[in-house]
């Protein structure tokens, strides 16, 4: 087969989780003998891309871009298009719909971002900033479900048609978990879900030495106070640090909130905390015993899955659909009701102070992560593609 991946800024391994997933998936297809190309919108002139990386001629909507995409699909005899950015640029979805009607083309649109969580969890997203700016009345209003429902009504009104277009103008729409499918149904009111399929993300196998576990807890991500909620992580460590004098808490990542996060850590008088900056997390996965995820919402949380692969016990706020898929509460990690700081801290203490519990849960986390190995997830892709090719053949 000839496969075209579409991704916003070109596919580079250092720019994010979706890019890494795309590269890994493409490599597996190539290893099976398929031809793979990438198509992006914006080119970085100083970056080094794959030799099969292509770019639209312009960022503007118009016939030039449509013709370029049509010619790629026709001249390279593309059979499969995997669109990783259907929400980023609706024009591409429309282009592909027109082209697939003229060419022997199957289009998969992959949704990598939450669909309703960003509104449903608005209280948790805005809690820190509203309290900081002394806007407690606004936070109080967000605590009422009818207010969230009111906001969601207008959010759905704005985005419903975009999601419907993705479903209707694609052969298949791919989501990451059952909870995400439910969110898509809630957003679009679709009754026929036959064109919506679940294929989770995966983490690539990487060679490592022996995992020598130390008394280390980690938090990994883009540092902010809205989505990743670094403030929650710092407050949790405040609850734990006196009871864990021989443990350390390491913040892996950077972002616009880094300076404020360091200031908050000083204000809370935190000890044994290290801001590591943006570094390769794998060495820390190998030696950390616990990983914490305090996000107000996530699409999938590759951090959780990757940390499990290296035997870290994840303790996670249950704020996103994939959380309950990745973690079997009390066995492969702990799910905590948002934003119960003391409950979160108590689970950290339980894993940290009871060695037997850590050993058992660490091994169960490793075993659980195998369900999301590259081979397992790639098989799901191969099975779906073969099925769609067969259906396409039957229609001829």
Sequence-separated (6 or more) residues with CB below 8 Å from residue 116: 152, 155, 183, 186, 187
The residue that leads in pLDDT, 389 or 233, is 233
Find the mean pLDDT for residues 1-8: 92
pLDDT digits (tens, 9 = 90+) for 278-315: 999 999 999 999 999 999 999 899 999 999 999 999 99
Q: Say how far apart CA 8 and CA 77 lie, in whole Å.
A: 22
Q: Does pLDDT of 339 surpass 80?
A: yes
Cα 370 to chain centroid, rounded: 18
pLDDT grade for 14, boundaries at 50, 70 and 90: low
Q: Say how far apart CA 333 and CA 335 lie, in whole Å.
A: 7
Find the mean pLDDT for residues 339-349: 97
pLDDT grade for 392, boundaries at 50, 70 and 90: low
Query: Can you give the pLDDT at residue 208?
Result: 61
Q: Does pLDDT of 393 surpass 70?
A: no
Query: Can you give the pLDDT at residue 271?
Result: 98
Which tokens in the block code for residue 51? 């030799």
Query: Can you give the pLDDT at residue 207?
Result: 59
Q: Does pLDDT of 17 surpass 80?
A: no
User: What is the number of alpha carbons within 13 Å of residue 330 lying toward its C-beta?
Assistant: 0
Provide the residue count of the chain.
396
pLDDT digits (tens, 9 = 90+) for 351-361: 999 999 999 99
pLDDT digits (tens, 9 = 90+) for 150-186: 999 999 999 999 999 999 999 999 999 999 999 999 9
Q: Which residue ranges form the domains of the chain, and what is each CATH number?
A: 1-112+153-201+373-390 (3.40.50.2000), 212-370 (3.40.50.2000)
Query: Can you give the pLDDT at residue 364?
Result: 98
Q: Say how far apart CA 29 and CA 21 lie, in whole Å.
A: 12
Q: Say how far apart CA 294 and CA 291 lie, in whole Å.
A: 10
Q: Does pLDDT of 394 surpass 50?
A: no
pLDDT digits (tens, 9 = 90+) for 118-155: 999 999 999 999 999 999 999 999 999 999 999 999 99
pLDDT digits (tens, 9 = 90+) for 234-254: 999 999 999 999 999 999 999
What backbone torsions phi and psi does residue 78 show, to the nearest 5 degrees?
Answer: -65, 130
Q: Does pLDDT of 395 surpass 60?
A: no
Q: Say how far apart CA 346 and CA 352 lie, in whole Å.
A: 10
Sequence-separated (6 or more) residues with CB below 8 Å from residue 385: 1, 80, 106
Q: Sheet with 35-40: list strands edge to edge.
A: 53-55, 35-40, 2-6, 80-83, 106-110, 172-175, 196-198
What pTM did the predictor assign? 0.91
Find the mean pLDDT for residues 2-19: 82
| DSSP β-bridge partners for residue 109 | 83, 173
Sequence-separated (6 or more) residues with CB below 8 Å from residue 325: 177, 178, 179, 200
What percent of the chain is predicted at pLDDT more than 70? Answer: 96
Q: Does pLDDT of 103 surpass 90?
A: no
């Amino acid at each position: 087969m000839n496969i075209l991946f579409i991704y916003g800024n070109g596919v580079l391994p250092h720019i994010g989780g979706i890019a890494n997933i795309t590269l890994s998936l493409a490599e597996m297809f190539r290893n099976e003998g398929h031809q793979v190309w990438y198509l992006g919108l914006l080119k970085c002139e100083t970056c080094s891309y794959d030799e099969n990386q292509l770019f639209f001629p312009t960022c503007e909507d118009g016939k030039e871009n449509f013709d370029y995409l049509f010619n790629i699909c026709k001249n390279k005899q593309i059979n499969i298009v995997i669109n990783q950015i259907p929400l980023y640029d609706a024009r591409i979805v429309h282009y592909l719909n027109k082209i697939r009607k003229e060419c022997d083309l199957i289009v998969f649109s992959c949704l990598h971002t939450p669909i309703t969580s960003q509104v449903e969890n608005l209280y948790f997203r805005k809690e820190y900033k509203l309290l900081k700016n002394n806007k407690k009345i606004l936070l109080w209003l967000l605590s009422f479900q009818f207010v969230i429902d009111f906001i969601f009504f207008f959010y759905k009104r704005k985005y419903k048609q975009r999601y419907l277009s993705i479903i209707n103008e694609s052969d298949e729409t791919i989501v990451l978990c059952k909870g995400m499918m439910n969110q898509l149904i809630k957003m679009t009111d679709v009754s026929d879900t036959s064109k919506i399929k679940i294929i989770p993300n995966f983490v690539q196998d990487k060679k490592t030495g022996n995992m020598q576990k130390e008394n280390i807890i980690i938090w990994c991500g883009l540092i902010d106070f809205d989505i990743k909620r670094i403030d929650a992580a710092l407050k949790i460590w405040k609850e734990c640090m006196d009871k864990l004098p021989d443990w350390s808490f390491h913040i892996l990542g950077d972002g616009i909130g880094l300076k404020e996060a360091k200031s908050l850590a000083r204000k809370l008088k935190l000890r044994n905390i290290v801001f590591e900056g943006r570094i390769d997390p794998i060495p820390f996965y190998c030696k950390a015993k616990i990983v914490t995820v305090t996000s107000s919402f996530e699409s999938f949380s590759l951090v959780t899955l990757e940390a499990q692969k290296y035997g870290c016990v994840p303790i996670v706020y249950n704020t996103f659909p994939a959380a309950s898929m990745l973690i079997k509460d009390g066995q492969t990690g702990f799910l905590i009701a948002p934003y119960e700081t003391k409950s979160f801290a108590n689970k950290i203490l339980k894993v940290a102070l009871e060695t037997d519990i850590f050993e058992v849960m660490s091994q169960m986390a490793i075993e659980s992560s195998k369900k999301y190995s590259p081979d397992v997830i790639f098989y799901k892709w191969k099975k779906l593609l073969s099925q769609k090719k067969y259906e396409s053949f039957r229609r001829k």
